[in-house]
Amino acid sequence: MLPIQILIIDDEADVCSFFRRLLTKKGYEVTTATNEPDALSALAATRFSAALVDLKLPDTDGLTLLQAVKARQPACEVIIMTGYSTVKTAVTAMQLGAYEYLEKPFEDIGQIEELIARAVAHENRPQGEQVRDEWAEVAAAVGFRVGTALPMRRLVSLAHKVAGKNINVLIQGKTGTGKEVLARFIHAASNRADKTFIPVNCGALPENLLESELFGHERGAFTGASQTRRGIFELANQGTLLLDEIGDASPMIQVKLLRVLETGEFMRVGGERPIRTDVRVIAATNVDLEEAIREKTFREDLYYRLNVVRLEIPSLQQRQEDIPDLAAHFVRQFNPAAHLAPEAVRMLQNYSWPGNIRELANVMRRAVVMCPDDTILPDHLSSRLQTAVGQAASALTPGTGIPGAAEFLQASEQLQEQSSGANPFEKLTAPELERLLSALRGIETTVLSAMGLHGATASPRQGLKETETEAIRNALNLCRWNITEAARTLGIGRNTLYRKIRQLGLSR
Ligand SMILES: Nc1ncnc2c1ncn2[C@@H]1O[C@H](COP(=O)(O)OP(=O)(O)OP(=O)(O)O)[C@@H](O)[C@H]1O
C-alpha cells in the first residue's frame, strides 16, 4: 500500500521539522513547504490526503493557500494552524471548506495525531460512501432536529467543530428559530458537557436584578440582601452560560460582561474581592447587533469579544424542505400514533411561519388536540394558518370576492335561524369561533379599503399600541400570568413577551 502523503506549509522551519518527525514516525510521508511557490509545486507533483497550513505566511495567507489547495486537490483535507489572535480567521477558513483548525502553541500531541488521522480517514473514505454526520448523536441526544437544508447542515457542522474549542459564540436568528436549542447542542458537544448549562435572558429582568443574578451579591449589598448569594458566573463555572437576548443588556451590564470576558474575573454586587470564573459564553440575539452598535445602544468592544464565531440560524421559511420532518417530529412528540395527511403537509409548506419553529411546534400541539383520530387534516390546523394560506390562494385567483364573507354570512344566518334570542355564537366551538373571527377581520379590511376609495373614514378605533396592550393583557389574564402559556396563546416568544410587558408597563 502506498504511504499516505501529508503536506506541511509553514514559514517556521522548526514547525516543519516538528511535524516531519511526528508524522514520519506514524508512517506518513511528509512534504514541507515554507512559502507559496514551494507549496504550489508540491501540489503539482504529489497527491496529498491532508495539508496543514499556517494562517500567517510572509508571501501569502492561509486562506489563499486553502483555496489553492482545494482548487487543485478538492479531496485533500486542510487543517489550518493559527495563533489565538487569528482564531476568527481560522473559523472563516472552516466556513470556506477547511476541515479543522489547530491552535498554536501546540500542547496536546495526542490530539494532533488524532486530528490528522481523522482528516486522512475522511479523505480516504470509499467513493460515494455517505459520511456519517459526526454531530448526529449529540443532536439526537438534545432533541435538536437538523433536517436536510444545506445552510442548516453547514451551520451545525461548524457549530460542532467549534464546540470543543474554548471560544465564545454568537448565535443570531429570528425569534423561535432554535437559538437556545443550538446553544444546548454546542454545550453538549463540548468538553464541558458534564458541567452546567445555564441560560439567562438579559431582556427579562430589570437591570439590578439581572446584575445580581449574573454576578451574585454579598450579604447586605442592598435592602433585602439578607444572605450572600452566588451568581450565574459562579454557578456555571467550568460550564456554559447562554446570554439570551444580549441586545437587551443595559450599558452597565454590558460593561460588567466585557470585564469578565476580558479578565475571567468579576465581583459580586457589594463585594470587594475579584472572583475567578471559567465560563464558556454563548450569546444569542434576534436583533442586528451591528445596527445596535451604529445606534450606540451596544458596545462594539463587547460585540467583538462575543462574536469570535457567529452562527446565523436560517428562518423556517429559508429551510422549507425541513417543514415536513419538523412537523412530523412535533406530532410524534405530542401523540406517537398520529400523523399528518399529505394535504395538511402541503398547507404547512405554503405558510410563511413568522414565529418559526416555535410556531410550528405550537400549531402541531394544537392540531393533535383538535384531531379526533390519528390523521391530522388541514381542518385541524390553526385558523390563522388556514386564513393566511387561504388568503394567499385567493390573492392568486382574482375576482373571488371578499375573503371570508360568504363563510361568515352563511354561518351567522344559520345560527340566527336556530337561536331563540340568546347569543347564537355561544353555540360554536372555540375553533369555529376563531375561524369566524378571522373571516370578520378579512371583511373589515376589505370594507375599510372600499371606504377609503369613497373618501369616507371609519369612526376612530384604538391605535396599534392600545390594541397590542389589550391583546397582551387579555392573554396574560387568561393564562393567570403564566408567561409561557400567554406567549404560546399570542404566538410570540417568551422573551418577546417579557420585553413587551416591560415596554408597555404591564403588571398583574
Ligand atoms: N431544530 C429544532 N429541533 C427541535 N426543536 C426545535 C428546533 N428549533 C427550535 N425548536 C423548538 O422550538 C421552540 C423555540 O426554540 P428556541 O427557544 O431555541 O428558539 P429561540 O430562537 O431561542 O427563541 P427566542 O428568540 O424567542 O429566544 C422550542 O420549543 C424548541 O424546542
Say if residues 306 and 261 touch (Cβ distance below 8 Å): yes
144 C-alpha vs ligand 1 centroid, how far in Å? 9
Q: What was the pLDDT predicted at 419?
A: 47
Which ligand 1 atom sits nearest the alpha carbon of residue 286?
Answer: 25
| CA separation for the pair 343, 491 (Å, rounded) | 23
If pLDDT is split at 50, 70 and 90, which confidence band does 225 have?
A: confident
Compute CA 439 distance to the chain's CA centroid, rounded to the nearest angstrom: 34
Domain 465-504, CATH number (from 3.40.50, 1.10.8, 1.10.10, 1.10.3470): 1.10.10
- With the most atoms of ligand 1 within 8 angstroms of its CB, the residue from 174, 179, 318, 357 to mutate is 357
Q: How confident is the model at residue 442 (pLDDT cuts 50, 70, 90)?
A: low
Residue range(s) occupied by CATH 1.10.10 in the chain? 465-504
| Average pLDDT for 300-314 | 94
Res 131 pLDDT > 90: no
Query: What is the model's pLDDT at position 400?
Result: 41
**pLDDT band (50, 70, 90) for residue 458:** low
Q: Which CATH superfamily is domain 138-312 in?
A: P-loop containing nucleotide triphosphate hydrolases (3.40.50.300)
Give the pLDDT of residue 220: 85
Q: How far is the CA of 334 from the centre of ligand 1 (A)?
A: 16
Which tens digit of pLDDT belongs to each residue from 249-280? 999 999 999 999 999 999 999 999 999 999 99
Q: What's residue 410's pLDDT?
A: 56
CATH 3.40.50.300 location in the chain = 138-312
Closest CA to 425 of 406, 444, 412, 435: 412
| Chain region(s) in the chain for CATH 3.40.50.2300 | 5-123
pLDDT at 473: 84
The pairing of beta strand 309-312 with beta strand 169-172: parallel
* Burial class of residue 342, CB neighbours in 10 A (0-12, 13-18, 19+): exposed
Task: Tell me the C-alpha distance between 46 and 43, whole Å.
Answer: 6
**Pocket of ligand 1, beta carbon within 6 A:** 143-145, 173, 175-181, 244, 286, 357-358, 361, 493, 495
320, 312, 313, 315: which is closest to 148 by C-alpha?
320
Q: Is the pLDDT of residue 457 over 80?
A: no
| DSSP H/E element including 220 | none
CA angle in degrees (0–180, nearest 5) for 152-133-142 = 70
Q: How far apart are CA 493 and CA 500, in angstroms?
A: 11
Q: What is the pLDDT of residues 134-175, one digit of tens each?
A: 889 999 999 999 999 988 998 999 999 999 888 899 999 999
**Size of the chain, expressed as the number of residues it contains:** 508
Indicate which residue's Cα is closest to atom 9 of ligand 1: 178
Residue type, 429: T
Write down the mean pLDDT value for the chain.
Answer: 85
Whether the predicted pLDDT of 130 surpasses 60: no
Mean pLDDT is highest, among 369-383, 396-410, 425-439, 466-480, for 369-383
Residue range(s) occupied by CATH 1.10.8.60 in the chain: 316-400
Q: Is the ipTM of this complex over 0.95?
A: yes
Residue 169 parent element (H or E): strand 169-172
3-state secondary structure 255-302: HHHHHHHHHCEECCECCCCCEECCCEEEEEECCCHHHHHHCCCCCHHH
Handedness of CA 222, 231, 174, 367 (dihedral sign): negative
C-alpha 331 – ligand 1 centre gap (Å): 16
* Count of Cβ atoms closer than 10 Å to residue 407 Cβ: 17
* Residue whose CA is at the smallest distance from ligand 1 atom 15: 178
Which tops the pLDDT comparison, 226 or 138?
A: 138
pLDDT in tens, 346-358: 989 988 888 899 9
Ligand 1 atom, smallest distance to 181 CA: 18
Confidence band (pLDDT; 50, 70, 90) for 396? very low
Question: What amino acid is encoded at 294 in this protein?
Answer: R
Atom of ligand 1 nearest to the CA of 180: 18
Look at residue 447 in the predicted model and tell me its pLDDT. Answer: 64
CA of 286 to the centre of ligand 1 (A): 12
Question: What integer pLDDT is reported at residue 389 of this predicted model?
Answer: 65
The alpha carbon of 357 and the centre of ligand 1 are apart by a number of angstroms equal to 6
Per DSSP, which regions of 388-491 are E strands?
none
CA 175 to centroid of ligand 1, rounded, Å: 8
CB atoms within 10 A of CB 207: 13
* pLDDT computed for residue 497 by the predictor: 86
Rg (CA), the chain: 29
Identify the architecture of domain 316-400 in CATH.
Orthogonal Bundle (1.10)
Using most ligand atoms within 8 A of CB, pick from 156, 174, 180 the residue to mutate for ligand 1. 180
Q: Is residue 179 within 8 Å of 171, Cβ to Cβ? A: yes
Please give the average per-residue pLDDT across 58-71, as a whole number: 90
Fill in the amino acid letter for 194.
Answer: D
What distance in Å separates the CA atoms of residue 353 and residue 334, rounded to the nearest whole number? 20
Q: Which of 181, 364, 492 to mutate to test the pocket of ligand 1 (most atoms within 8 A of CB)?
A: 181
What was the pLDDT predicted at 323?
A: 96
Provide the sign of the torsion angle of the four alpha carbons 437, 438, 442, 444, taken in this order.
positive
Does 100 or 389 have the greater pLDDT score? 100
CATH superfamily of 5-123: Response regulator (3.40.50.2300)
Which of ligand 1's atoms lies nearest the C-alpha of 173?
21
Separation of 300 CA from ligand 1 center, angstroms? 27
Residue 355 CA to ligand 1 center (angstroms) comes to 10
Local confidence band at 305 (pLDDT 50, 70, 90 cut-offs): very high
Question: Could you tell me the CA-to-CA distances from 330 to 35, 74, 126, 292, 486 in Å, in that order?
Answer: 54, 39, 36, 35, 20
Q: Locate 329 and state its grid cell.
A: 417530529
* Rounded Cα distance, 171 and 161, in Å: 15
Contacting residues for 478 by C-beta, under 8 A, at least 6 apart: 486, 489
Ligand 1 center from residue 477 Cα (angstroms)? 25
Q: Which three cell numbers stand for residue 248?
A: 437587551
Q: How many CB atoms lie within 10 A of CB 478?
A: 12
Give the integer Cα–Cα distance in Å for 76 and 78: 6
Distance from the alpha carbon of residue 295 to the mean position of ligand 1, in angstroms: 28
Nearest CA owner, ligand 1 atom 7: 178
Q: What is the pLDDT of residues 2-31, one digit of tens each?
A: 789 999 999 999 999 999 999 999 999 999
Q: What is the pLDDT of residue 398?
A: 40
256 Cα–ligand 1 center, Å: 28
Of 358, 492, 495, the one to substitute when testing ligand 1's pocket (max ligand atoms within 8 A of C-beta) is 358
**Per-residue H/E/C for 232-257:** HHHHCCCCEEEEECHHHCCHHHHHHH
Query: Please, which pLDDT band fits residue 298 given cuts at 50, 70 and 90?
Result: very high
Q: How far is 349 from 189, CA to CA, in rounded Å? A: 31
